[in-house]
């Protein structure tokens, strides 16, 4: 067990505070021989990086990753994983700790200030310390490695709701996701969100969001009953992200309102080893084990608790007071949660891929490309 | 790591198949000196036991629990835990394996038949084998032990939605929960559900449901950032239950539509060490750590996939065919999921209570009774 | 983590006390499709079974194993593992708890009475409860499964020292091991031990012993630096056996007196992928990873603390007193430790085989038979 | 599970290669509020630091430790642990990779070259990469934190054998340990070793050694049956150190030759809760649980495999060849193993202290000072 590790055979351990000298993670158990470079990891970090639009925090962090161990040149001179721990480190360069003097002794509502103080008796209050979403950069870095562990795996995410505004799923276009500052697959919704978020931002408020992650190319058989279910571990991984309050797989909470015949995905003859499911209410997982269909997960992020409006609270001596949270904050942390959610799903899949291979000896020799061909394009149908 | 264990310091390992000779679990790491009897565990099993109303499966299982180890008489002659593994065992007595001959070679839609077959190459198909909800009896037994680990803890559950029919939260009455066959806290909703479920049952169909679990008496400080968050582990525990497709904490998915000022629970001066929160959108957890407010979790259960209507599927050779699932099934597995959900939340809380005590040395010396007095009665407000 | 589990991908969890109704273990993570029967497991239990000669305890336990889950008939009708937890159970049938009334309140020197009492405050004193070597029957049962996980693996053990009397390694004959009541590979030493142990037994005393375990057919590459070394986990497994006070690999403590050129095993060209080592001081492990040579481990067992001679001790109130340990005890627990040590080594190798396959994707396609052919017959040279 | 982590509640994860930019570790689960500074950690690193005498490697590494997270000023301005992960980092500054060009393609006997190559297919051969004892610096750093977790704990080590030369235990003097370059408690033996090691060093050879670690101030009750025995975890920790081939507790392998009445430590009335043991053959542990007596462990280190004499081996293509290991090496790695062994024992004790507190709620309120007073001074008696 560990309080700051995640995964089993593919395992990450993260460390660092928002305003400390650096943050980092150790990726342990990665298979050897996987080509990986700092540039490749950086490309994912750049998606999560703050300050890229007016809709995210203005803190200027280059989030430059360094690989400190676990990668070495193979006989062909290519940098590959060696099977030993991969230490990834990101220096903090734009911390403004003075912004946080006011909250040293006050507990911000919706934040972990009170609970950390009660649990540990001491806390690094600067930029929320360990409770800061800054830690998630290390997850994205680790996720970049994880993505390469499962041959043929593709993990993509999108924002599907901002505040009360949901996308129209009929407009879903994966290409659109990278063409707006919201990772929104519905160009029309993106316009509505832009107006909505301008308003939220100007009023010093914040808003929640829902993110959807879709993984395709997932081999059949990942996961295990019971207590090591693939959906269970995906939910665990997503719930471990700051501000997440709900997680669902496939039809999720909507399944509660369905009948058995509506919900259970019928099966038809398909390519050998890859039957065709006529729908994907299951989100690609049955009995905790992947079906070969796309794995579909969604998670809800609460509105940022750091807002400019004064709020009732107490100080550490128990006195009633008010607090206003300055500092540079995301009006909607859900936006940057997209690459983070992708990373966590990739990490869970990498872990279960290795666990499955360990227990059963099965590798991914199945024709993943064939699989992708016949899969329904609307993974959430 | 383990595929069939859950928890860390308080840890359960379960075994057994639906139609094998018995099912059981080993509870490891339980503190010594806790009084526990078979009768006490039985009282919780009796809540989950099948065949108690026409709305659940008619399989007649007494679910009689035996304690095989880990409990011994103390100096006062009271049976108490000894700190060594507690083996709990329940014999299967009413398995009708012949009902399942038809599905030996066919994959039932919505079931784990296909994924088990692909992953393991062999499966105990009788009554779904390991994938059967029968395994959950062992969780309830383990949960009965877990409830006694945290002094002052009370974990209660209720069904809050059946199919499309939600309760009216204004009618919430905990006393009503045990007065209808649905664990429904809203007597009026219970009547609607009775009619709805009669219809579902007669038509050979099934329906989904949503369950809410509320734990009060939870000390401040349980959980840990990051990857050992209390909410993360609760979600993991609930998602490990058969048929669960979504999990949420506090306001959950609704938080996505809120603003920061609506969502973040304000704090006022309360009893020493127990500030008063003016609302509980957080569901009793901030930054992954308990606040002392009631912990509130909800989970969605899909409709039973075992239905009498013929469904398209394939057999193990890949041929198209149809399947009808006979056997004795719950039209709404959500009903019996209530005591199961309670058990999983109790297990997570017991585990984190020990972990917290281990890391910080804090015990539960806080005045839990005082806590319960001032807590808002409507834990979901 | 767990207090009563061992291993990771291949993992056992044991439960039960000496005089409780039964003892058992859950084997989790076993690969599916491995043929296994109760008779096969029984054959190993019969080696460890008490009461087979005058040199072991006269407690009459048939040690009959039952498989309660995790095994099912495959398409050919053969009983095979299903990949789900295998529950193994052995009933206790010859407990004589009245022998232990005297030690209820006294701490026997060399026993765990005092430490259990201080740690847990309550203990099952009958037959030493959880601290009894009776628990090791479940290890032997689990080991019988583990042996089948690694293709081509053979794990054998022998007693190499009883009290001050060591074997003459020049006489080593594996066939002799099963031809005397001591698992002794040196027929001449067996004669000396028979006399020595008769004397020990008659005087109500006891003696220690050293056991050697040799595993051949171990593929290259099992284990991992650092903290998951194969030798580390073998030592951990052997030290987890009751009464073990020392463990060593290859040349072990004698390596301390050697020079680098004496100790480091030189390498010569051998079959592809299987170089010839000119000696095996390393005990088949370099840098925590198996070399393909036989894995050689030894462990020292202290003399049984249950002796008939009166010993100084205190009672639970701290008063000085004397204690005489009646009951039926082994004068040399080292004898029956041989099959137990074999089981633990097999369990570690099975676990690391799965972990290695998980991380690297390598299976055991190497020609193990070829390997066995050219290996030096004297594995301890 | 993890390949590069150790411990459970108090858990270290290490990373880094001998010639990479840095090495480091993450200490997770440390209790909050423990004062710790870089200077304090440095004092232990300085004991292990290379190049301090002619008897250790001449590589000049300052081994300067940096704390990158997990420590913050409390209200009194003192730097204390916050309960979040403590990242410790040490830069490599004196790597001479060119020394290792020759071994890029050759497998050094006694080294992990061959096994790494077979397992991973790629390896950082420079200075042995991950298999280098350089990694142990991070253990010493983590051990400095661990020492402070258990109130009143003192962990000390000494070299008790170099090559064939053992100390005379009658001369044991803890004060002498820091007055010679060998951590030798017997001043006379130190003189013999000096001559012996000069010879070894000049001849380009190397020698093995035995180290003894003694921990006093260990509370009663640490450890747990079975598979989480304190002695088991100490052995696991010591065996995880490079070059260790054997481990023993208390009388260890000598116990095999003893009778039950010689070995079992008698008990007499002592201070409340702290009975007096008349000897300590048990090494402070009975049934896997600490007795309150000093915990005594010994481990054997093989002679350094890096020697200047030419040795038979093969290259990576399987061709017979010779290899000479240049580079800067310790003629006796056992010397610097003393602080490393201390660190590992401290880490195990810290972990079990937290586990014990978690399960039982017992803290260390016992009067440790009183304990130290009456304990036999000769812990190995």
- Other chains touching C, judged by 3 or more CB pairs under 8 Å: A, B, D
Residues on chain D touching C260 (C-beta within 8 angstroms): 110, 205-207, 303-307, 309
Disruptive mutation site among B361, B362, B363, B364 for chain D (greatest number of D CBs within 10 Å): B361
User: Is residue A231 within a helix (H) or strand (E), and if so which, with residue range?
Assistant: helix A230-239
Taking CB atoms and an 8 Å limit, are D83 and B360 in contact across chains?
yes
Q: Beta strand pairing status for C267-268 and B289-290?
A: unpaired
Interface chains of chain A (3 or more CB pairs under 8 Å): B, C, D
Residues D216-259 have pLDDT tens digits of: 999 999 999 899 999 999 999 999 999 999 999 999 999 999 99
pLDDT at A317: 87
Closest Cα in chain C, distance from residue D142 (Å) = 14
- Mean pLDDT across the stretch C339-363? 95
ipTM: 0.94
The 8-class DSSP code of residue C266 comes to P
- Residue B248's DSSP bridge partners are A246, B298
- Phi and psi at residue D352, in whole multiples of 5°? -70, -30
Judged against a pLDDT cut of 90, whether residue D4 lies above it is answered with yes
pLDDT tier, D272 (very low <50, low <70, confident <90, very high otherwise): low
The H-or-E segment that residue A196 falls in is: helix A187-202
* Residues C71-93, mean pLDDT to the nearest whole number: 96
Output the tens digit of pLDDT for each of chain B's 381 residues.
678 999 999 999 999 999 999 999 999 999 999 999 999 999 999 988 877 788 877 778 889 999 999 999 998 999 999 999 999 999 999 877 777 777 888 999 999 999 999 999 998 998 889 999 999 999 999 999 999 999 999 999 999 999 999 999 999 999 999 999 999 999 999 999 999 999 999 999 999 999 999 999 999 999 998 999 999 999 999 999 999 999 999 999 999 999 999 999 999 998 766 789 999 999 999 999 999 999 999 999 999 988 888 999 999 888 999 998 776 678 899 999 999 999 999 999 999 999 999 999 986 444 333 333 333 333 333
The pLDDT, as a whole number, for residue D302 is 97
Q: How confident is the model at residue A272 (pLDDT cuts 50, 70, 90)?
A: low
Under DSSP, the state recorded for A112 is S
| CA dist., res. D307 & res. C327, Å (int) | 56
Count CB pairs under 8 A between chains B and D. Answer: 47
Question: In chain D, what residues touch B357 (CB-CB under 8 Å)?
Answer: 357-358, 361
What six digits make up the tokens of A139?
Answer: 């997850």
Look up tokens 């660190």; give the residue: D343
Give the three-state DSSP class for B73: strand
Nearest residue on chain D to C251, alpha-carbon basis? D245
Query: Are the C-beta atoms of A246 and B194 separated by less than 8 Å?
Result: no
Query: What domains can be seen in chain B, in order of their start residue?
Result: 5-366 (3.60.150.10)
- Asked if B358 lies within 8 A of D355 by C-beta distance, the reply is yes
Instruction: Inform me whether the pLDDT recorded for A179 exceeds 60.
Output: yes
* Confidence tier at D59 by pLDDT (50, 70, 90): confident
Would you call C165 helix, strand, or coil by DSSP?
A: strand
- pLDDT more than 90, % of chain A: 77
Give the residue from chain A lying closest to B8, CA to CA: A1
Q: Does B275 touch chain A (CB under 8 A)?
A: yes
Residues 6+ apart with CB under 8 A from B22: B16, B89, B90, B91, B92, C68, C69, C87
Whether residue C54 contacts residue C334, with contact meaning beta carbons closer than 8 Å, is answered with: no
Which chain D residue's Cα is nearest to C228?
A: D3
Specify the higher pLDDT residue, C114 or A49.
Answer: C114
A304 has binding-site annotation: yes
Whether the pLDDT of residue D201 is over 70: the answer is yes
pLDDT higher than 80, residue A213: yes
- B350 versus C96: the higher-pLDDT residue is B350
pLDDT digits (tens, 9 = 90+) for C309-318: 899 999 988 8
Q: Do D9 and B355 touch (CB under 8 A)?
A: yes
Q: Is A91 on the interface with B (CB under 8 A)?
A: no
Q: Which residue of B has its CA nearest to D33?
A: B360
State chain A's mean pLDDT as an integer.
Answer: 91
**Residue C114: what pLDDT?**
94
Of C4, C208, C334, the CB nearest to D227: C4
List the structure tokens of D371. Answer: 């304990």
As given in the structure block, the two tokens for residue D190 are 């130190």
Q: Is A355 near chain C, with CB under 8 Å?
A: yes
Asked whether residue C292 carries a pLDDT value surpassing 60, the answer given is: yes
Verify cis geometry, omega within 30 degrees of 0, for the bond prior to C226. yes
pTM of the model: 0.95
**Percent of chain A at pLDDT exceeding 70:** 93
CB contact under 8 A, D359 and B83: yes
A77 close contact with D: CB closer than 8 A: no
* Residue B326, pLDDT score: 75
Residue D301: half-sphere exposure toward Cβ, Cα within 13 Å: 31
Cα→Cα distances A201→A56, A207, A330, Å: 10, 9, 9
The secondary structure of residue A131, as a DSSP letter, is: G
The whole-number pLDDT of residue B309 equals 86
pLDDT over 90, % of chain D: 77
C304 touches chain D (CB under 8 A): yes
Closest CA to C71 of A357, B91, B137, B120: B120
| Contact criterion met (CB below 8 Å) for C273 and D317 | no
Q: Report d(CA B256, CA A159) in Å as an integer.
A: 11
Give residue C272's pLDDT band: very low, low, confident or very high (50, 70, 90): low
Contacts of C210 in chain D (CB under 8 A): 253, 256
Is D323 exposed, middle or buried (CB count within 10 Å of its CB: 0-12, 13-18, 19+)?
buried
Mean pLDDT on C158-178:
97
Band of the pLDDT at A169, cuts 50, 70, 90?
very high
Please identify among residues 17-46 of chain D the ones whose CB lies closer than 8 Å to any CB of chain C: none
Instruction: For residue A219, give how far its alpha carbon lies from the nearest alpha carbon of chain C (Å).
Output: 15
Size of interface A-D (CB pairs under 8 A): 162
Q: Which of D122, D245, D305 is nearest to C266 (CA)?
A: D305
Residue C377 at interface with chain D, using a CB cutoff of 8 Å? no
Annotated binding site of D: 48, 54, 130-132, 242-243, 287, 302-306, 328
- For A112, name the nearest residue in chain B, comparing CA atoms only: B287
In this predicted structure, what is the pLDDT of residue A328?
67
Q: Which of A346, A305, C35, D95 is nearest to B286 (CA)?
A: A305
D283-302 tens-digit pLDDT: 999 999 999 999 999 999 99
Measured in degrees and rounded to the nearest 5, phi and psi for residue C320 equal -65, 140
Q: Which residues of C touch D112 (CB under 8 A)?
A: 225, 286-289
Chain A residue numbers touching B360 (CB-CB < 8 A): 119-120
Contact (CB, 8 A) for C132 and C18: yes
Q: Which chains touch D (3 or more CB pairs under 8 A)?
A: A, B, C
More confident residue, D128 or B174: B174
D365 touches chain B (CB under 8 A): no
**Separation between Cα atoms, residue C339 and residue C45, nearest integer Å:** 8
Nearest by CB: B15 against C9, C83, C85: C85
Of B31, B360, B361, the CB nearest to D359: B31
* pLDDT at position C376 over 70: no
Closest CA to B192 of B166, B157, B169, B158: B166
* Confidence (pLDDT) at A367: 36
Instruction: Give the per-residue pLDDT at B272.
Output: 63
Per-residue three-class SS string for C47-85:
HHCCCCCCCCCCCCCCCCEEECCCEEECCCCCEEECCCC
The answer to whether the Cβ–Cβ distance between D361 and B360 falls below 8 Å is: no
Mean pLDDT across A354-376: 61
């Amino acid at each position: 067990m560990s309080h700051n590790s995640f995964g089993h055979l593919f395992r990450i351990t993260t460390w660092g505070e928002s305003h400390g000298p650096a943050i980092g993670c150790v990726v342990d158990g990665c298979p050897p021989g996987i080509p990986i470079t700092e540039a490749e990891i950086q490309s994912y970090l750049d998606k999560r990086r703050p300050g890229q639009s007016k809709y995210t925090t203005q803190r200027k962090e280059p989030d430059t990753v360094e690989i400190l161990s676990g990668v070495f040149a193979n006989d062909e001179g290519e940098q590959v994983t060696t099977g030993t721990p991969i230490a990834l480190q990101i220096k903090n360069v734009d911390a403004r700790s003075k912004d946080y003097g006011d909250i040293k002794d006050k507990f911000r509502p919706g934040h972990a200030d009170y609970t950390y103080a009660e649990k540990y008796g001491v806390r690094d209050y600067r930029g929320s310390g360990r409770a800061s979403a800054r830690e998630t950069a290390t997850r994205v870095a680790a996720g970049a490695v994880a993505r390469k562990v499962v041959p043929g795996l593709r993990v993509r995410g999108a924002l599907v709701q901002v505040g009360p505004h949901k996308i129209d799923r009929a407009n879903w276009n994966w290409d659109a996701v990278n063409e707006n500052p919201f990772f929104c697959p519905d160009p029309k919704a993106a316009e509505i969100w832009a107006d909505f978020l301008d308003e939220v931002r100007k009023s010093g408020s914040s808003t929640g969001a829902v993110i959807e992650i879709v993984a395709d190319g997932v081999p059949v058989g990942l996961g295990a009953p019971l207590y090591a279910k693939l959906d269970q571990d995906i939910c665990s991984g997503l719930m471990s992200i700051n501000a997440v309050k709900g997680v669902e797989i496939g039809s999720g909470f909507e399944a509660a309102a369905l009948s058995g015949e509506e919900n259970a995905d019928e099966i038809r003859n398909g390519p050998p080893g890859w039957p065709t499911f006529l729908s994907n209410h299951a989100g690609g997982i049955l009995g905790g084990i992947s079906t070969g269909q796309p794995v579909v997960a969604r998670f809800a992020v609460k509105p940022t608790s750091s807002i400019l409006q004064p709020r009732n609270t107490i100080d550490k001596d128990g006195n009633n007071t008010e607090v206003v949270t300055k500092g540079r904050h995301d009006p909607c942390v859900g936006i940057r949660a997209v690459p983070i959610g992708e990373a966590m799903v990739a990490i869970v899949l990498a872990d279960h891929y290795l666990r499955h291979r360990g227990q059963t000896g099965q590798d991914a020799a199945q024709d993943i490309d064939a699989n992708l061909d016949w899969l329904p394009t609307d993974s959430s149908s």
